Amino acid sequence: MDTRKEKFPYGIPGHNLSEVEREIPVEEPPVWPINDKLKVIGKRVTRIDALEKVTGKAIYTSDIKLPGMLYAKILRSNVPHATISSIDISKAKSLPGVHAIHLIENTPKEGEENSTGKYPMVKYVGQPLAGVAAESLEIAKEAVSLIKVNYEKKPFVIDLEAAMELNAPIVFDAPITKQQDGGDVGETHDGSKGEGNVRGPSTSSFFGGPRGNLEEGFKEADVVVERTYRTQVHTHMPLETHGVVVDWNADVMTVYASTQNTAAVRNEMASVFNLPKSKVRVICEFMGGGFGAKHSAGSFGPMAANLAKKTGRPIWLMLDRQEEHLAEGNRPNSIQYLKIGAKKDGTLTGIQQRSHGTAGVGLGAGVGRIAQILYTCPNFATEQYDVLTNAGPGAAWRAPGNVQGAFGLEQAIDEIAEKLNLDPLSYRDHIDTSEVRKVERQRGAELFGWSRRKPAGSSKGIVKKGLGVGQSTWPRFVSLDSSVEIKIHKGGGVEIRSSVQDIGTGTKTILAQVVAEELGLQVKDIKVNIGDTFFPVGPGSGGSVVTGSITPPTRNAAFEAKTALLKLVAKKWETDSSELVMADGQVNHKTNTDLKMSFKEATKLMRTSQISKIASRSDDYGGFQQPWGLAYGDLGSVQFAEVSVNTDTGFVKVDRVVAAHSCGRPLNIGQLESQINGGVIQGVSYALYENRVMDNSTGHMMNANVDQYKVPFSMEIPEIETVIVEEYSGRSSTDAYGIGEPANIATAAAIANAVYNAIGVRLYEIPITPSSILKALSKVS
Amino acid sequence: MNKFSWYEAKSVEDALEQVNSTLSDELYEPTQKASVFKSGGIDVFDWVKEGLLKPQKIINIRNIPGLDQISYDRKEGLHIGSNVTLAEIASNPEIKSQYLALHQAVNHAATPQLRNVSTLGGNIAQRNRCWYFRSADHDCFRKGGDRCFARHSETGENENHAILDNGTCVSVHASSIATALMAFNASVVIANAEGKQKTVQMDDFFVSAGEDIAMENILQAKEIITEIILPPPSKNTKSAYIKQVARESYDWSLADVAVVMEVSGNTCKSASIVLGAAAPVPYRSVEAQQAIESKTINSDNATAAAKAAMTKARPLSKNDYKVPLFVSTIKQTILEIA
């Protein structure tokens, strides 16, 4: 590979900005200066689809209407554990308007539990059993209600701790190898180890395994904090439910999907139906939220395709809110034991972590890597166990595991600081080596007014005020399977094409910004066509990878297209293309001011109707951290929370959150703020409101709706202010990274620390409710 | 949702001729042949959507002329037609000035969107929100079943449930507006198919679970609420209402309290104190009333009254927090009067 050397901005403006020399592929564009010197990048650019969205014109999957389309509904189990002896579909079949019924039957695969019956064993309430396609959704629903399932019920277990007991009903009596949709990266194990319903433990991540010697570490400690923390099951609740519209004709299966991973859905459907990937087209133009639960075609994707096959008609299959809660993912709960030791000077000497959590019938209930890597500590070990229960499978949920882990770790760190009589913020300066979090602590504390913080429990009156802080880290994941096509059309018009989807955070807009910056155009001049697997493959929206993965190839492809166009202009002007620049919609000669031409005129020089360039994500400049293959650096955050606690009624109100974040080179300040707001709101919700309530006697979820499953509305949302720290590291042609997951990790921990500061009693369990506050204050007899 | 026919009632008489059942009867013993009333439709259609109510006919009483009036007279008091929306009550200046607790209760009920369509008659006749009662998969006493799932000491998910009068059913009444209405000693005017009308005190309108597990109010199949009447306040009447919710934006009550007092200076001459979300029906706390009557309205006496209200409280496995929550809320509401 031919390379050249360039100097890149390095570090944090206003703090330690310097330069670093990188060797980069010769075909990649020259370095961008810091955002101050750019025109479109790093600015507040209104999202390009804002008007379509707020006027209701944006077409989401559920809006798709095709000629001859039928509506489908899934029949789900209403018992938590059973074998199915028979299914009677006669009544449903004869209902007028019903076109097809598809039953899910056993197709034993290698490595999966051997099930001898005709139908898969029922393992949770809400498990899909069959699907009906009919002329209307109402008919399909009625037909589903007419299907009679004969169950042979089996004992079941719902509660995490009950499932850990040796005599508990067994959820799976064989090893399970299938990781459910999007479980946490790095914390998974194969589910084959363990006894009863307890599987694991996972003791390592891609950051390695245990370190040092815990026993020695705790011996050296002058102070030790040893606690158990509990977090609840949290369901995703995207506004748009899961679902697809499948249009399967002789040539191609088109799947309109509400998905955060068009390419993965394409691969799954191709694999299930034994089709070449070229004959499956997945389209997601607008996306109504996923939060990690929409990486897969699920069971509804194949169900819709089977019904399409049986009827020869397009099938609309969107889930309802109840199905969403029961079967389409959740953040597993946790019981986390944490022991931390420190010397008098604050130096950490040991961190021991042991966790149990249940992702229902799935795996992936670990508590992440945050205790392993956030602070320097020579002695560390973790054991993270999965416990199987008869409940819907968990799924990745905005920083899987790490949100639970941060809730424990960041409270324990505060307790250590208190034992050492240190301010929790300055204590973190002592034990945290991250330069970016140091700046975030400084700038965040100033905006937040951390100096107002008083000793815990010293707030006077019935309503007590408290301030707290929590930190987080998230890796800079990059997907190298990311590519983009840029087309410049003769006579004007620039187009971006990739299968990457916009999960709703504004991916379309940042891609347009990158191309506009490179071509000296305006964002409105760029047409973004993404979310279609007929275009070059892009990454899934998971792991906060999208921005870091897809913006460099976008810039690279735009640069290649620009270079091709400039060569034509250079030929006409009899000069060298390196003497030409594109800016303000013009092609200009660097020195000869007489030579200028509009971008549109320039495109008329093209011999063919378009210039098309495809670029892929190259390796990070400077390589990857070995042996893990991760990008260098992290996505650090520090969040500050201010709460009011009514000590008479037990109600907690989060008044204000200051969220200080970094994501390399920020691309669009407004969109970043929106995404951080979203993460903070979900964090507030996790700390105070949301909780999946299961009845242990029937195995049913009692609040599988929007009425009793409490997400915050406008009045519950605090004042949120963001601090975005620019951090340059010269790792790609854009040097930009995502913010999705970091925005959600530290909030609940910061709130818990603030509640402690307010009332002087620490809560080790979320959600924090009037009941838990009044109990903590000994006001409940 | 099943298919049903729709009947547009033109008058009270017309409606009463068409109707053959109540929501309560049909939930307790489903016939699937019911013709039931719908006004705002908020509660009835919730039941239809859950598949627990499969009516043959929905009788729309929303457009019956004459049931949508509010009138206030210093001598006659306040008359609110059963089809008056909560939004109309919330914006009525006389209700705000003369019946503050009702104004406050209505303003904290549901959401602005729901208040635009919910009617007062429907609000007081709605069924409780116990999630077992509302689940097609849990056949509880109120639906003719053989158990109360919520009561179970180990598995009952009863954090939102009753702490008073919870011997039979542990649900709490869903109308927080009824809390205020009862505190104002409101009465309900009910018309029947024979063309007769009866006026029933709010205290007698609701039916305790012990009396009849199928019912939460006395309405029979051939009866309809036409209006709610609140007696005129005196110069010395003062009122206050506080509702405690997990989510301020929109939520069902965890504890709500309405206090209506006749005061002389800072002394309580007589008190009407009603608790919502405490019991299966709105709960008049005679203990609290007695404790505060003839006393100066101050923090100590308010606390004593609040504690008196809780002497009979019997919390369930997960709702003992409601006792201190009520103590605090009753105290605060009484002190709002001062």
Domains and CATH numbers, chain B: 5-63 (3.30.43), 237-337 (3.30.390.50)
Judge whether residue A113 has pLDDT over 60.
Answer: no
Contact B132 A713 (CB under 8 A): no
Gap from B65 CA to chain A (nearest CA, Å): 33
A125 & A222 share domain: no
Predicted confidence (pLDDT) at residue A148 exceeds the cutoff of 50: yes
A770/B248 Cβ within 8 A: no
User: With bands split at pLDDT 50, 70 and 90, how would you rate the model's confidence at A108?
Assistant: low
Q: Which of A136, A137, A649 to mutate to probe the B interface, most B CBs <10 Å? A: A649
CATH number at residue A79: 3.90.1170.50
- Are A648 and B246 inside 8 Å of each other by CB? no
**Helices A747-759 + A669-688 axis angle, to 10:** 50
Q: From the CA of A678, how many Å to the nearest CA of chain B?
A: 18
Cβ within 8 Å, pair B149-A712: no
Q: Tell the residue number behind the tokens 């005599």, with chain if given.
A: A167
| pLDDT for res A626 | 87
Q: What is the pLDDT of residue A161?
A: 98
**Termini Cα distance of chain B:** 50
Q: Is residue A699 part of a domain?
A: yes
How many Å apart are CA B80 and CA B106, to the nearest integer? 13
Domain tally, chain A: 4
Determine the residue type at B329. Answer: T
**Chain B residues inside the 8 Å CB shell of A780:** 320-321, 323-324
Domain that holds residue A264: 64-154+242-318
Which residues have a Cβ under 8 Å from the Cβ of A133 and sit 6 or more positions away? A70, A71, A72, A98, A99, A100, A101, A102, A140, A307, A310, A311, A313, A315
pLDDT computed for residue A182 by the predictor: 40
- Record the tokens describing residue A714, joined without a space: 């406008």
Q: Is the preceding peptide bond at A96 cis, omega within 30 degrees of 0? A: no
Is residue A149 domain-shared with residue A79, that is, in the same domain? Answer: yes
Q: Do B149 and A779 touch (CB under 8 A)?
A: no
Are B157 and A695 within 8 A, CB to CB? yes
Which tokens sit at A776? 């903590």
E-strand ranges in A212-257 read 223-231, 234-235, 243-248, 253-257
Nearest Cα to Cα of residue B122 among B47, B175, B69: B175
- The pLDDT of A304-321, averaged and rounded, is 98
pLDDT for A628 beyond 90? no
Q: Which of A689, A769, A779 sits opposite B324 (nearest CB)?
A: A779
Cα dihedral sign, A7-A8-A10-A14: positive
Backbone phi, psi, residue A725, to 5°: -100, 120
Helix (H, G, I), strand (E, B) or coil at A643: strand
* Cα–Cα distance measured from residue A277 to residue A156, given in angstroms and rounded to the nearest whole number: 40
For A37, residues 6+ apart whose C-beta sits below 8 A from its C-beta are none
Q: Give strand pairing partners of A79.
A: none
- Whether A353 contacts A369, CB under 8 Å: no
Query: Which of B134, B137, B140 is the best substitution to test chain A (most A C-beta atoms within 10 A)?
Result: B137
Task: Give the mean model confidence (pLDDT) for residues A112-139.
Answer: 89
Among the candidates A318, A344, A373, a domain finishes at: A318
Looking at the complex, report in whole angstroms how far the Cα of residue B338 sits from the nearest Cα belonging to chain A.
19
Regarding whether A668 and A570 lie in a shared domain, the answer is no
CB nearest to A650's CB, from B137, B154, B321:
B321
Whether the predicted interface score ipTM is above 0.85: yes
- pLDDT digit string, tens, across residues A66-81: 999 999 999 999 999 9
Residue A195: predicted pLDDT: 85
Question: Of the candidates A595, A616, A637, which is a domain's last residue?
Answer: A616
A646 and A764 part of one domain: yes
The pLDDT, as a whole number, for residue A415 is 98
In terms of domains, do A278 and A131 share one?
Answer: yes
Would you state the pLDDT for residue A271? Answer: 97
> CB distance B325–A770 less than 8 Å?
yes
User: Does pTM top 0.95 for this prediction?
Assistant: yes
Shared-domain flag, residues A223 and A136:
no
Query: Do A227 and A350 reside in the same domain of the chain?
Result: yes
Is there a domain that residue A415 lies in? no
Tens-digit pLDDT profile for residues A729-769: 999 999 999 999 999 999 999 999 999 999 999 999 999 99
Q: Are residues A214 and A264 in the same domain?
A: no
Tell if the CB–CB gap between B321 and A714 is shorter than 8 Å. no
Is A716 close to B248, i.e. CB distance below 8 A?
yes
Q: Look at residue A627 in the predicted model and tell me its pLDDT.
A: 85
Q: Please check the confidence at residue A186 and state whether its pLDDT lies above 80.
A: no
CB atoms within 10 A of CB B276: 31
Chain A interface disruption, residue of B48, B138, B328, most A CBs within 10 A? B328
How confident is the model over A651-662, as pLDDT tens digits? 999 999 999 999
| Domain-located, residue A164 | no
Question: What's the pLDDT tens digit per position in A414-470?
Answer: 999 999 999 999 999 999 999 999 999 999 999 999 999 999 999 999 999 999 999
Residue from the list A698, A713, A775 with its beta carbon closest to the beta carbon of B321? A775
Asked, for residue A13, whether it belongs to a domain, the answer is no
pLDDT bucket at A116, cuts 50 / 70 / 90: low
Residues of A in contact with B318 (CB under 8 A): 771
Interchain pair A650, B324: CB under 8 A: yes
Contact A276, A251 (CB under 8 A): no
pLDDT, tens only, A705-719: 999 999 999 999 999
Candidate from A138, A702, A713 with C-beta closest to B1: A138
**Residue matched to tokens 């008058």:** B11
Pair (A365, A439) in one structural domain: no
Contact A360, A389 (CB under 8 A): yes
**Residue A24 placed within a domain:** no
CATH number where A338 lies? 3.30.365.10
Q: In Å, how far is B73's CA from the nearest CA of chain A?
A: 37
pLDDT, one tens digit per residue, over A372-406 is 999 999 999 999 999 999 999 999 999 999 999 99
Residue A414 lies in a domain: no
Domain boundary (A318, A348, A380) is at A318
Q: Do B321 and A693 touch (CB under 8 A)?
A: no
Structure confidence at residue A194 (pLDDT): 80
Measured between CB atoms, which of A698, A703, A769 is closest to B138? Answer: A698
Cβ contacts (< 8 Å) between B254 and chain A: which residues? 770
Are residues A472 and A508 both part of a single domain? no
Q: How far, in Å, CA of B176 to CA of B62, rounded?
A: 22
Q: Which one of A689, A693, A698 has the shortest CB-CB distance to B247?
A: A689
For A716, which of B156, B249, B332 is closest by C-beta distance?
B249
Best mutation target, A655, A695, A710, A779, to test chain B (most B CBs within 10 A)? A695
Which of B138, B149, B249 has the CB atom closest to A713's CB atom? B249
- The predicted pLDDT at position A111 comes to 54
The verdict on a CB contact (< 8 Å) between A648 and B324 is: yes
Q: Which of A771, A777, A778 to mutate to test the interface with B (most CBs of B within 10 A)?
A: A771
Closest CA to A79 of A119, A120, A125: A125
Asked if A265 and A290 sit in the same domain, the reply is yes
- List the one residue out of B191, B152, B195, B196 whose CA is nearest residue B170: B152
Does a structural domain hold residue A21? no
Q: Among A145, A693, A774, select the one facing B321 at the smallest CB separation.
A: A774
Q: Which residues of B touch A (CB under 8 A)?
A: 1-2, 51, 129, 131-132, 135, 137-138, 149, 152, 154-157, 159, 244, 246-251, 254, 318-321, 323-325, 328-329, 332
Q: What mean pLDDT do residues B148-160 have?
A: 97
Chain mean pLDDT for chain A:
95
How close B128 comes to chain A (CA, Å)? Answer: 13
End-to-end CA gap in chain A: 74
What pLDDT shows up at residue A187?
47
pLDDT for A181 beyond 80: no
Residue A508, in any domain of the structure: yes
Nearest of A665, A616, A733, A625 to residue A4 by alpha carbon: A733
What mean pLDDT value characterizes chain B?
A: 97
- Do A500 and A578 fall into the same domain? yes
B149 to A695: CB separation less than 8 angstroms, yes or no: yes
CA–CA separation, A717 vs A128, rounded Å?
Answer: 35
Assign 3-class secondary structure to B187-246: EEEEEECCCCEEEEEHHHHECCCCCCCCCCECCCCCEEEEEEEECCCCCCEEEEEEEECC
Collect all residues of chain B within an 8 Å Cβ-Cβ radius of residue A715. 247-249
B310 and B237 Cβ atoms separated by less than 8 Å: no
With a cut of 60, say whether residue A46 has pLDDT above it: yes
Searching chain A, which residue's CA lies closest to the CA of residue B331? A648
Return the pLDDT at A190: 61
In this prediction, residues A543-565 reach a mean pLDDT of: 97
Residue A564 tokens, joined: 């091709």
Q: Tell me the C-alpha distance between B252 and A433, whole Å.
A: 47
